[in-house]
Amino acid sequence: MDDATLAALIRAAGLEETARQFPDDVRDALATVARQRANLPRSSDPTLEPTPAYQAPRR
Query: What is the value of pTM for the model shown?
Result: 0.62
pLDDT confidence of residue 17: 95
Average pLDDT over residues 41-48: 73
The pLDDT tens digits of the residues spanning 23-40 come to: 999 999 999 998 998 887
Q: Are 2 and 35 in contact (CB under 8 A)?
A: no
The pLDDT tens digits of the residues spanning 6-23 come to: 999 999 999 999 999 999
Average pLDDT over residues 36-48: 77
Q: Are 2 and 8 in contact (CB under 8 A)?
A: no
